[in-house]
Amino acid sequence: MFNNPTSTNPFRVGLGSRTVPEPCSIVIFGASGDLTRRKLIPALYNLSASGNLPPGVRVIGFARRDKTTEQFRSEMEEATRTFSRRSVDDKLWANFASNVYYFRGDFHIRQSYIDLDRYLSELETSQGFPPRRLFYLSASPDEFPCILNNLRETGLNKIHESNWPRIVLEKPFGNDLASARKLNELVLEVFRESQTFRIDHYLGKETAQNILVLRFANKIFESVWNANYIDHVQISACESLGIGGRAGYYDKAGALRDMVQNHLLQFVCLTAMEPPSDLSPDSIRDEKVKVLRALRPIVGNDVALYTVRAQYTAGRVEGQPVFGYRQETGIPTDSSTETYTALRLDIDNWRWSGVPFFLRTGKRLPKNATEIAIHFKAVPPVLFRSSALDLEENVLVIRIQPDEGASLRIAVKRPGPTVTIEPVKMDFHYRTSFGSVSPDAYERLLLDVMANDSTLFARRDEVEEAWRFVDGIRNAWDQGICKLLFYSAGSWGPEEADRLIAKHGTFWRRL
């Protein structure tokens, strides 16, 4: 069984070429937004409370609303008390909050950036820290060009020591290949690729980081990680939540752009990539890009064969009645945006030829569950003939969330005088093995930006290759090649998704 860790010298290296996080000023553009309250400030507080935030990190919220630093601190305290993964300690909060500031400015007004520069310089000089700045773009993507241009025109992008300043861009990174390219071109006119960190928060999740360790630090898995032994792979990201207050964004995006283009394709890459020659960010990302390039395009009429798109109607989730998507506030009553998608993709390379990857993601499903399941081939039905019908194939499940961990299904003999075979699970749970709640993805990712480690961030070519693949599907959908289906909120999606996977002689895992 997967047991408690026994080594006194646990595997401690980071995935990439991690250096030490450096103190800096983190400027959050879009400080009044949801992400700042729900994720960024709680993550920074948790880093500070656990002693992982380097001394001298200052957080500056940049937004248009008129408020004082004191007001901002108290709003952020309330948010952190609501959203932090662990309860807030008054003393630790006070210590962290003393380095949190509010700067009132307008994305569109150049003078705001000139004033910001002066404000940061004063803070840096008074506290004796070098002018290292981390610009976090947590604003609406429509504002990115304006912010980037202003940073350039006011010289805030000027490079000094070791890749400072750095820029972090939140998703969505474009909404198709053309817009992603355009944005990349602009970003790279203002910053170098090495200063640019495109967030995909799924890469910061503890179990996602574990995929490569599981594969490449254990002899037993990698030797069977190929088409000779693997029948198919299922990747699921199911959510019980609806679209929250994000109607404007979501209705333009839909599940394919919102989840598949980034998070799910990143999982495909981590699951399918070849071993990198070392753990440097570029070696890892080179291998991931090769997977994206090997994806067989799904275009034209194939889109109807290999993809399913659907939208939720009213139903019950976790016992509560919920609206249908078209009744959600801000959604047009004739919207054809998909809130669920399932697809089969194929990777045309030596390792994966003939092994389908089935992906599904949706909102308003019965529960939250994200996992990668590797289904191995069945043994030949030669021995245990009488029990063979009950023989289930081995499945390695990497549970991303909740209940992070991994399990391996194996066949065993049920005790007794006859040979009756039953599947059992060898199960590893982070919580019981390591006894603590895993850090939030944003904690890890923020620390990595400060440490100049871009391993867990999407490189330009990754983003563009992923869009290239998704655009093929999207274009066919837009031409009406695959009709929009409906599923009741609280169900597991439309039956067509079951048929999609049934063509391969299998079914979706019960989550």
Catalytic residues: 263
- In this complex, which beta carbon is closest to ligand BG6, that of residue 15 or of residue 264? 264
Shortest distance, CB of residue 235 to ligand BG6, whole angstroms? 13
Bridge partners, 235 (sequence order): 359, 372
- In this complex, which beta carbon is closest to ligand BG6, that of residue 22 or of residue 462? 462
Alpha-carbon distances of 504 from 232, 355, 362, rounded to whole Å: 9, 10, 21
- In this complex, which beta carbon is closest to ligand BG6, that of residue 38 or of residue 429? 38
- Answer yes or no: are the C-beta atoms of 100 and 59 closer than 8 Å: yes
- In this complex, which beta carbon is closest to ligand BG6, that of residue 254 or of residue 324? 254
Shortest distance, CB of residue 315 to ligand BG6, whole angstroms? 18
Contact flag: residue 206 with ligand BG6 (CB under 6 A): no
Shortest distance, CB of residue 190 to ligand BG6, whole angstroms? 24
- In this complex, which beta carbon is closest to ligand BG6, that of residue 103 or of residue 136? 136
Question: Which of 374, 326, 370 minimizes the C-alpha distance to 351?
Answer: 374
- In this complex, which beta carbon is closest to ligand BG6, that of residue 201 or of residue 309? 201
Alpha-carbon distances of 365 from 192, 194, 317, 327, rounded to whole Å: 41, 39, 7, 17
- In this complex, which beta carbon is closest to ligand BG6, that of residue 201 or of residue 288? 201
- How far apart (Å, rounded) are the C-alpha atoms in residues 463 and 454? 14
Continuous segment of H or E residues that includes residue 94? helix 90-97
Shortest distance, CB of residue 258 to ligand BG6, whole angstroms? 5
Shortest distance, CB of residue 437 to ligand BG6, whole angstroms? 14
Phi (first) and psi of residue 219, to 5 degrees: -60, -40
Longest dimension (CA), the chain: 84
- In this complex, which beta carbon is closest to ligand BG6, that of residue 124 or of residue 258? 258
In one-letter notation, the amino acid at residue 36 is: T
Site string for ligand BG6, 326-355 (x = CB under 6 A): ------------------------------
C-beta atoms surrounding 191 within 10 Å? 22
Q: How far is Cα of residue 461 from the mean position of the Cα atoms in its chain? A: 17
Contact flag: residue 239 with ligand BG6 (CB under 6 A): yes
- In this complex, which beta carbon is closest to ligand BG6, that of residue 258 or of residue 471? 258
Residue 443's contacts (CB-CB under 8 Å, 6 or more residues apart) are: 43, 46, 47, 52, 204
Q: How far is Cα of residue 4 from the mean position of the Cα atoms in its chain? A: 27
Residue 182's contacts (CB-CB under 8 Å, 6 or more residues apart) are: 174
Shortest distance, CB of residue 48 to ligand BG6, whole angstroms? 22
Site string for ligand BG6, 169-198 (x = CB under 6 A): --x---------------------------
Alpha-carbon distances of 103 from 4, 80, 116, 422, rounded to whole Å: 47, 20, 7, 63
Shortest distance, CB of residue 193 to ligand BG6, whole angstroms? 22
- How far apart (Å, rounded) are the C-alpha atoms in residues 379 and 217? 26
Shortest distance, CB of residue 280 to ligand BG6, whole angstroms? 26
- How far apart (Å, rounded) are the C-alpha atoms in residues 113 and 508? 51
Nearest residue to ligand BG6, using CB? 258
Shortest distance, CB of residue 363 to ligand BG6, whole angstroms? 7
Structure-block tokens of residue 367: 């529960």
Strands (E), 257-368: 307-313, 315-317, 320-322, 340-345, 357-362
- How far apart (Å, rounded) are the C-alpha atoms in residues 24 and 195? 14
Size of interface with ligand BG6, in residues (CB under 6 A): 4
Q: Exactly one of 77, 258, 371, 465 binds ligand BG6 (CB under 6 A); which one?
A: 258
| End-to-end Cα separation, the chain, in angstroms | 22
Shortest distance, CB of residue 233 to ligand BG6, whole angstroms? 19
- How far apart (Å, rounded) are the C-alpha atoms in residues 268 and 275? 14
Alpha carbons within 13 A on the beta-carbon side of 322: 26
- How far apart (Å, rounded) are the C-alpha atoms in residues 237 and 212? 19
- In this complex, which beta carbon is closest to ligand BG6, that of residue 171 or of residue 360? 171
- How far apart (Å, rounded) are the C-alpha atoms in residues 383 and 392? 14
- Residues lying near ligand BG6 in the complex (CB under 6 A) are found at 171, 201, 239, 258
